[in-house]
């Protein structure tokens, strides 16, 4: 996941964010001066929570003065004195927001949360004052109306168009009464967004499943060791502790033979912020929908989903639903077949028992062992965290010629590491931070963002400072951190986002962002290499014996590529559908959040009760406080692109083809939003993306090419059978 909002010696870092540091006077505020740190990284060793509010206040004041200078200029409006001046404004505020936003996600506490609650409505109001300033918009519109006569180049024209569109989408064409109401809506939305996220963080940290030695049946040694170390860190002797953080939750659901305990922890996960207490988010979900629906209607759209999607590659909600619906039925059919196979094993264990959602991981693992003789625990020793990171570095070097050099710079937590990224000619490309493990002050999931965005100042490229943040399994029992396959794939995914940021070479700040449904292409394409045999042999090395992963394990991985894909695809698409459904409401009335979800999935679309959507509304952070509202479909839309793009490498016969990688970098990664996403994709691929590669990768298409309709949609489905792989086949061979 990419966060759009952007995101200390080491003892000082801990002191700074635990309240042990005080500011003597405003001159010590590091946001008030240019940073003299190596590579221009934030001076985390000098940043304290109390620096942020003064920095926000000064940043907003300076920004307002810069806008006033544009508005007060008596010269005729031009591209230079309006559009470029606007694009260059607000740099101090933007720098503060990037650092603050990233830290609120990665290393927060009560003080930071209080500042976030205080500043969110102030920042929303500040943005509205600018975007709804009639005098400023009049100047922008005057330049826009004369755009055909200005002799602008392609990038300048794109910046002008995006600037004008941003003001219109923000409400610049509304009347005064509507503008006042829109400001109120935006301020309310900013406040409830902070509340919603804080509630989830509190719920994630509150639940503890404390076990005794007799409760550990089925759990591998590494899982037990991690739970033991967690208990000891909490001062609970002779106990084992499991939490709702994924590195703790998923192994427990996968291996614990105690069905009652699997039910207990999974229900706690599913019911986060849905317990009628101070952290309950159901009313906030209602508030989000009420306010967003009103905002969209005010801006001339039928629904908030229409408002969001109109500015994306998909263009219309109909196009989004068409893609999701095309995948839904075959994915659900495949999941039902997977369920039937697992239910046979449950009946052997407990005749007459009903298969439940908390049984899925446990029996799926049993099926994997039975069908493929593959146990994830036998793989994890080959996926030590340092080796996986080295594998990502190796891949980037083979594709793009770049290298990564460890550096000593200020960090915000002792676990954080940093690398200088050097281009093929050894010039400085940027800095990349890594922050890998769960903490109480860190949000769930994984993401990538900027501390410093790539810009140009006085004609010189300002290199970005990028951070990859995750919640991976911690080292335990004296062993290094050993990643699951999912965590390995996640590292490659977030690393892809990092490369996108690092390769940015965008002239104007307003052209940095790409469409939301394009965002996941640079990240998801990296996942395609993660388990390719040629790459595995370079990084999948046993942490004890230094043995390269043997061919028989690589073959087992290959044969199990489609394992559990029905479940994985169904829960992903289910979440995307609930997102689209709730944001497609054209009028708001108070609603029962749980009942709405049940109608959307179980009653209308036949989702089986054994599968829950990947996220339920009370903790669906992506769509309520994470920048993906009416946009969780982005992952699926971008998967069509990434699977098709990867075909370019496969079809060349060289998975590390430098010429294709260079074209991918120049045509896509370096350009930010300098052109529409589909135009950039066509420039790279030479054609529109073909859905077949994505459908095949999920086992949902096994027909010949001519059975595809002209728009790339599958006319019929012939599901790829997992036993085709067991016989040594491939999707192509199965045809």
Half-sphere exposure in the Cβ direction for 274 (13 Å, CA): 17
Q: Which helix (H) or strand (E) holds 724?
A: helix 722-726
Of the candidates 502, 470, 266, 303, the one whose C-alpha atom is nearest the C-alpha of residue 400 is 502
d(CA 467, CA 469): 6
> Binning pLDDT at 50, 70 and 90, where does residue 704 land?
low
Mean pLDDT of 532-547: 97
pLDDT value at residue 731 = 25
Residues 315 and 633: their CA atoms lie apart, in Å, by: 13
Counting other chains too, the contacts that 174-177 makes at CB distance below 8 Å and 24 or more residues apart are 174/132, 174/298, 174/299
Whether the CA torsion 630, 632, 635, 640 is positive or negative: it is negative
Residue identified by tokens 């599913």 is 270
Which runs of consecutive H residues, i.e. helices, occur in 132-258? 134-145, 154-169, 176-206, 221-233, 246-255
Angle separating helix axes 634-652 and 565-583, nearest 10 degrees: 140
**Do residues 400 and 496 lie in contact, with contact meaning Cβ atoms separated by under 8 Å?**
no
- Owner of token pair 């042990």: 20
CA contacts within 13 A on the Cβ side of 66: 19
Q: Are strands 465-469 and 428-435 parallel, antiparallel or unpaired?
A: parallel
Q: State whether the Cα torsion 463-469-472-474 is positive or negative.
A: positive
Query: What pLDDT, on the 0 to 100 scale, is given for residue 710?
Result: 39
The two structure tokens encoding residue 301: 């759209």
Q: pLDDT tens-digit profile of 502-527? A: 999 999 999 999 999 999 999 999 99
Question: pLDDT for 597-638, tens place per residue?
Answer: 999 999 999 999 999 988 999 999 999 998 999 999 999 999
What is the pLDDT at residue 11? 26
Kindly state the average pLDDT of the residues 712-731: 32
Q: Which of 66, 116, 453, 494 is catalytic?
A: 494
Range in 281-295, 348-362, 365-379, 403-417 the model is least confident about: 365-379
Q: Indicate the pLDDT class of residue 703, thresholds 50, 70 and 90.
A: low
- Work out the average pLDDT over 554-565: 95
- Token pair in block for residue 31: 């946001």
Query: Domains plus CATH for the chain?
Result: 10-131+133-173 (1.10.1370.40), 207-270 (no CATH), 282-374+564-632 (1.10.1370.10), 380-559 (1.10.1370.40), 661-734 (no CATH)
What average pLDDT does this structure show over 403-425? Answer: 98
Taking only the tens place, the pLDDT of each residue in 125-170 is 999 999 999 999 999 999 999 999 999 999 999 999 999 999 999 9
Is 187's pLDDT higher than 60? yes
**Is residue 457 over pLDDT 70?**
yes
Q: pLDDT tens digits for 644-657?
A: 999 999 999 999 99
Mean predicted lDDT score pLDDT of the chain:
92
List the strands of the sheet with 417-422, edge to edge.
403-406, 417-422, 428-435, 465-469, 447-452
For residue 42, give the H/E element and its range: none
Which of the four pLDDT bands, split at 50, 70 and 90, describes residue 734?
very low
Report pLDDT for 701: 78
Secondary structure of 160-178 in HEC code, one letter for each residue:
HHHHHHHHHHCCCCCCHHH
Range of lowest pLDDT (6-15, 446-455, 684-693): 6-15
Alpha carbons 419 and 431: distance in angstroms, whole number: 6
Band of pLDDT at residue 732, cut at 50, 70 and 90: very low
Assigned token pair, 37: 């740190």
| Token output for 83 | 């559009």
Distance CA 383, CA 388 (A): 6
34 catalytic per annotation: no
- Cβ-proximal residues to 545 (8 Å cutoff; 6+ apart), any chain: none
User: Which helix or strand (DSSP H or E) is residue 437 part of?
Assistant: none
pTM attached to this predicted model = 0.91
Cα 702 versus chain centre, distance:
30
Identify the DSSP state of 77: P
Q: Percent of the chain, pLDDT > 70? A: 92
Report the SS3 class of residue 476. Answer: strand
582/303 Cα distance (integer angstroms): 10
pLDDT given for residue 733 in this prediction: 27
pLDDT value, residue 122: 97
Q: How far apart are CA 529 and CA 536, in angstroms?
A: 9
3-state secondary structure of 411: coil
Among residues 95, 193, 197, 79, the alpha carbon closest in space to that of 140 is found at: 79
How large is the C-alpha radius of gyration of the chain? 26
Closest CA to 668 of 500, 422, 528: 500
């Amino acid at each position: 996941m990419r966060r759009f909002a952007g995101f200390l010696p080491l003892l000082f870092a801990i002191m700074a964010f635990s309240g042990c540091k005080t500011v003597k006077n405003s001159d010590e505020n590091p946001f008030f001066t240019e940073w003299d740190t190596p590579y221009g990284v934030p001076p985390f060793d000098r940043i304290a929570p109390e620096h942020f509010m003064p920095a926000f206040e000064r940043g907003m004041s300076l920004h307002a003065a810069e806008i006033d200078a544009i508005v007060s200029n008596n010269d005729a409006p031009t591209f230079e004195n309006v559009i470029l001046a606007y694009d260059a404004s607000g740099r101090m505020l933007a720098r503060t927001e990037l650092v603050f936003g990233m830290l609120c996600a990665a290393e927060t506490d009560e003080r930071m949360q209080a500042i976030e609650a205080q500043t969110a409505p102030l920042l929303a109001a500040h943005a509205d004052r600018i975007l709804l300033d009639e005098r400023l918009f009049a100047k922008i519109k005057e330049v826009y109306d004369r755009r055909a006569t200005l002799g602008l180049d392609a990038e300048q024209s794109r910046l002008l168009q995006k600037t004008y569109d941003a003001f219109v989408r923000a409400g610049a064409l509304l009347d005064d009464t509507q503008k006042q109401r829109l400001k109120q809506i935006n301020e309310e939305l900013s406040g409830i967004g902070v509340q919603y996220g804080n509630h989830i963080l509190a719920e994630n940290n509150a639940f503890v499943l404390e076990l005794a030695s007799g409760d550990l049946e089925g759990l591998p040694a590494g899982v037990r060791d991690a739970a033991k170390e967690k208990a000891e860190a909490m001062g609970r002797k002779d106990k084992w502790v499991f939490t709702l953080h994924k590195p703790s939750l998923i192994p427990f659901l996968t291996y614990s033979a105690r069905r009652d305990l699997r039910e207990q922890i999974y229900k706690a996960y599913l019911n986060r912020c849905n317990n009628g207490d101070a952290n309950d988010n159901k009313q906030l979900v209602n508030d989000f929908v009420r306010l967003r629906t009103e905002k969209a209607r005010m801006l001339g759209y039928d629904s908030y989903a229409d408002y969001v999607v109109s500015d994306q590659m998909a263009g219309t909600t109909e196009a989004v639903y068409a893609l999701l619906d095309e995948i839904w039925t075959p994915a659900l059919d495949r999941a039902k077949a997977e369920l039937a196979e697992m239910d046979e094993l449950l009946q052997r264990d407990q005749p007459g028992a009903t298969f439940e959602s908390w049984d899925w991981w446990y029996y799926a693992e049993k099926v994997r062992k039975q069908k493929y003789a593959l146990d994830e625990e036998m793989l994890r020793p080959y996926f030590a965290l340092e080796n996986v990171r080295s594998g990502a570095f190796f891949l980037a070097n083979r594709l793009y010629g770049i290298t990564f050099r460890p550096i000593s710079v200020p960090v915000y937590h002792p676990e954080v590491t940093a690398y200088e990224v050097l281009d093929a000619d050894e010039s400085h490309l940027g800095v990349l931070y890594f922050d890998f493990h769960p903490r109480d002050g860190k949000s769930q999931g994984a993401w990538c963002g900027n501390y410093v965005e790539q810009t140009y100042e006085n004609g010189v490229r300002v290199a970005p400072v990028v951070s990859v943040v995750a919640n991976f399994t911690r080292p335990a029992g004296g062993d290094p951190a050993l990643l699951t396959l999912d965590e390995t794939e996640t590292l490659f995914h977030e690393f892809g986002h990092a490369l996108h940021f690092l390769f940015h070479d965008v002239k104007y700040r307003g052209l940095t962002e790409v469409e939301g449904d394009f965002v996941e292409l640079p990240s998801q394409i990296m996942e395609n290499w993660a388990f390719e045999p040629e790459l595995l042999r370079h990084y999948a090395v046993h942490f004890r014996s230094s043995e390269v992963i043997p061919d028989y394990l690589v073959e087992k991985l290959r044969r199990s590529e489609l394992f559990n894909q029905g479940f994985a695809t169904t829960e992903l698409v289910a979440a995307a559908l609930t997102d689209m459904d709730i944001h497609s409401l054209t009028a708001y009335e108070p609603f029962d959040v749980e009942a709405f979800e049940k109608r959307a999935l179980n009653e209308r679309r036949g989702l089986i009760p054994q599968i829950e959507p990947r996220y339920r509304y009370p903790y669906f952070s992506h769509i309520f406080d994470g920048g993906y509202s009416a946009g969780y479909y982005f992952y699926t839309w971008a998967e069509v692109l990434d699977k098709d793009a990867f075909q370019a490498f496969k079809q060349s016969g060289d998975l590390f083809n430098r010429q294709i990688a260079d074209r991918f970098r120049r045509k896509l990664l370096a350009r930010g939003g300098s052109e529409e996403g589909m135009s950039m994709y066509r420039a790279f691929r030479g054609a529109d993306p073909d859905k077949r590669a994505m459908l095949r990768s999920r086992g949902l298409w096994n027909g010949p090419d001519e059975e595809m309709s002209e728009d790339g949609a599958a006319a019929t489905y012939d599901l790829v059978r997992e036993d085709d792989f067991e016989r040594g086949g491939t999707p192509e061979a199965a045809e």
